[in-house]
Amino acid sequence: MIPVTKSFFPPIEDYQKQVQRIWDNQWLTNNGALLQELQEKLVAHLGVKHIIPMTNGTLPLHIALKALAKGGEVITTPFSYVATTASIVWEQCTPVFVDIHPEYLTIDETKIEAAITKQTTAILATHVYGNPCDVEAIENIATKYDLKVIYDAAHCFGVRYKGQSIFNYGDVSTCSFHATKLFHTGEGGAAFVQDEAMKHEIFFRHNFGHDEPTAYHGLGTNAKMSELQAAMGLSVLPYMDNILEARKTIVDYYDAHLDFSKLQKLKIRPETQWNYSYYPVIFPTETDLLNAIDRLNAADVFPRRYFYPSLEALPYIDSNQCPIAKDLASRVLCLPLYVGLKEKEIIHIISILGETLYVF
C-alpha cells in the first residue's frame, strides 16, 4: 500500500536515549528539562524569537483567538483544515470567509478590506501547504484597521519568506507537530510570538492561567507539552536536513514527470524557501479527480482530498459563498509524499494519473 503520507520514525535508539533521561529525571511534564532543551533548539534551528510548545496544534489557535479576537468577527479562509474555522467558533467568535487566490491558494488579500466591519477584531489566515500568504499586504491592512493577525502555519515548519522564518510574521503564528508533519513530536504543536508581553500572555493561558505556582494571571487551559513528546521532538530534529532533502527529491521528480498540460500545480509565492510539505495537484474537473482516485485506490495507492470540502460547507456556521475556494477544493488532490517513497512507486503513481487523464 502507498498512503498519502507516513510518519518519520527516528532510530529507536535515539528515542530510547531521550526517554531514559526522563526516567533519570523522574519528570514527565510541567516544563521539564527535555521541553526546555527542545524550545532552545527550535528557536536556534528556526530563527524565531519566542516559542511556546503545546500538546497539539489546535490549542495554540484556541489560545491565540481567546487572547486576541475577543469574541469578534474573524476574517479567515474557507480553504484550510477544519481546525481553523472550528477554533474560531469554539472561542465564540464569528468566522467571516474571504475567497482565495486561484494559484497560491492562500487567502486573497485584495478581498480582505471589503469584509471588514465594526465587529472585526482579527484576521486568521492559513499558509496553505506551507505556501505563505501575502504577509506584507495583510500586515498593512491590519495596521490600517487596528486588527490582530494570527497565522495558521500548521504546514510551515522550516518555511522561510524573504530570508526569515514565516513564524516571525503576525501577532501569533501557530504550527502543528502532529505525527504526519515534517517535524513532529508524535502529537503536538506550538505558538510563535514576537515580544515578551505576548509570550507571557500565551504562556499563562496554556498553563491553566498560572502566573506563578500560587497565583493566576487570567483564564487559561491545559495545553502543556509533555516530556515524552519533547523526547520525540529531540529525536526527530537532528534529521530535518535529511527529511527535507528526501521530500525535495520526490517533489522534483513529480515536477519533472507529471503532465501539467492537464494538471495545475501549486504556485509558490516568490522569495519563499519552501519545505515540500505536500504535493497538491488540481484536476480539470471533479469527475477527473474522482476517476483518478478510483484508479489509484484500485492499485493500492491512497492520495487524499485535502482540503475538502471548502469550509463554507460546515453545518455549524452561516457563511458567505467563496466560489474559487469551493471550486478548487472539489478538484485538488494531494499525492503521496514521504520519506521512503521509492522512485518506482512514484513512477507507478504518475503512470496511473497519465492513463486516467487521457481517458477523457
Q: In the Cβ-directed half-sphere of 73, how many Cα atoms lie within 13 Å?
A: 13
| Structure confidence at residue 15 (pLDDT) | 98
Amino acid identity for residue 107 in this structure? I
Nearest to 227 by CA among 7, 20, 50, 9: 20
Is 92:71 a contact under the CB 8 Å cutoff?
yes
Nearest to 181 by CA among 223, 137, 240, 124: 240
Helices (H), 146-239: 196-206, 227-236
- The residue count of the chain comes to 360
Contacts of 21 (CB under 8 A, 6+ apart): 33, 34, 231
Number of H helices, E strands in the chain: 11, 17
360 pLDDT more than 50: no
Nearest to 359 by CA among 258, 293, 291: 291
153 pLDDT more than 50: yes
Over 231-255, what HEC string results?
HHHHHHHHHHHHHHHHHHHHHHHHH
Is 89:315 a contact under the CB 8 Å cutoff?
no
Pairing outcome for strands 160-161 and 272-273: antiparallel
Residue range 217-246: mean pLDDT, rounded:
96
Distance, in Å, from the CA atom of 321 to the CA atom of 117, rounded to the nearest integer, reads 17
Residue range 138-149: mean pLDDT, rounded:
98
Split at pLDDT 50, 70, 90, the class of 359 is low
pLDDT tens for residues 91-100?
A: 999 999 999 9
pLDDT tens for residues 44-89?
A: 999 999 999 999 999 999 999 999 999 999 999 999 999 999 999 9
Instruction: Go through the domains of the chain in sequence order and give each one's CATH number.
Output: 2-237 (3.40.640.10), 239-357 (3.90.1150.10)
Confidence (pTM): 0.96
Q: In the Cβ-directed half-sphere of 41, how many Cα atoms lie within 13 Å?
A: 16
Distance, in Å, from the CA atom of 130 to the CA atom of 315, rounded to the nearest integer, reads 27
Instruction: Give the Cβ contact number of residue 6 at 10 Å.
Output: 15
| Structure confidence at residue 217 (pLDDT) | 83
| Structure confidence at residue 358 (pLDDT) | 64
Residue range 8-25: mean pLDDT, rounded:
98
Residue range 238-260: mean pLDDT, rounded:
97
